[in-house]
């Protein structure tokens, strides 16, 4: 019985470790990063690095980016859905492709023809509130962000998590 409990606990911990890449150190081969975290949802090249995107939305409310150097080894893993990164999105200036590079693949991507808007939805947590947020980034057909809305997650109900 003790062996069974230890095995189950090990599996649970292994599953948690792969969620955010905990335990992966700089210098880890890129293949090992994807083995631990799963296949990347998107890959982009930026300033000589390859960025691997691992969205954990909607309920994980995070997107992790593993930055891989030209030597195919891990540089760092970053959580991208943060208040600081959200502040970098400026209506009328930021391009929708810059949002995708910063935040990674959205939870939903909807094109509203009549509104002439593409709306990217991200689910995130904020350091300023225990309630998760839904972020809606609206872009016009020219690819420029026109509106950014951050509001309480419409699917969140107080008491859904962590209350005894």
Q: What is the DSSP string of 24-77?
A: --TT-BHHHHHHHH-S-SEEEEETTEEEEEEE-TTTS--EEEEEE-TTSBEEEE
Q: Where are the domains of the chain?
A: 21-79, 83-152
The alpha-carbon radius of gyration of the chain (Å, integer) is 18
The alpha carbon of 3 is separated from its chain's Cα centroid by a whole number of angstroms, namely 36
The reported pLDDT for the residue numbered 13 is 44
The CA distances from residue 88 to 82, 101, 108, 148, in Å, are: 10, 12, 20, 11
Tell me, what's the pLDDT at 128? 81
Nearest Cα to Cα of residue 162 among 130, 138, 133, 119: 130
Q: Which of 93, 147, 160 is nearest to 121 (CA)?
A: 147
The domain at 83-152 falls in which architecture?
2-Layer Sandwich (3.30)
List, for the chain, all residue ranges whose pLDDT scores fall below the cut of 50: 2-17, 163-164
pLDDT at site 17:
45
* pTM score: 0.81
* 155 C-beta neighbours (distance < 10 Å), count: 11
* Confidence (pLDDT) at 162: 52
Per-residue confidence (pLDDT) for residue 111, from 0 to 100: 96
């Amino acid at each position: 019985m003790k062996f069974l409990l230890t095995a189950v606990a090990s599996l649970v911990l292994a599953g948690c470790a792969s969620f955010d890449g905990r335990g992966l150190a700089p210098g880890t081969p890129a293949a090992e990063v994807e083995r631990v975290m799963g296949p990347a949802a998107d890959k982009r090249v930026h300033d000589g690095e390859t960025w691997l995107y691992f969205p954990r939305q909607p309920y994980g409310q995070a997107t992790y980016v593993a930055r891989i150097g030209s030597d195919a080894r891990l540089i760092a893993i970053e959580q991208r859905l943060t208040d600081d990164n959200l502040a970098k999105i400026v209506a009328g200036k930021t391009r929708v492709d810059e949002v995708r590079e910063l935040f990674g693949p959205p939870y939903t991507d909807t094109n509203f023809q009549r509104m002439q808007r593409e709306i990217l939805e991200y689910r995130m947590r904020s350091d300023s509130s225990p309630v998760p947020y839904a972020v809606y980034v609206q872009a016009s057909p020219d690819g420029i962000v026109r509106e950014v809305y951050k509001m309480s997650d419409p699917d969140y109900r107080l008491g859904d998590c962590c209350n005894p």
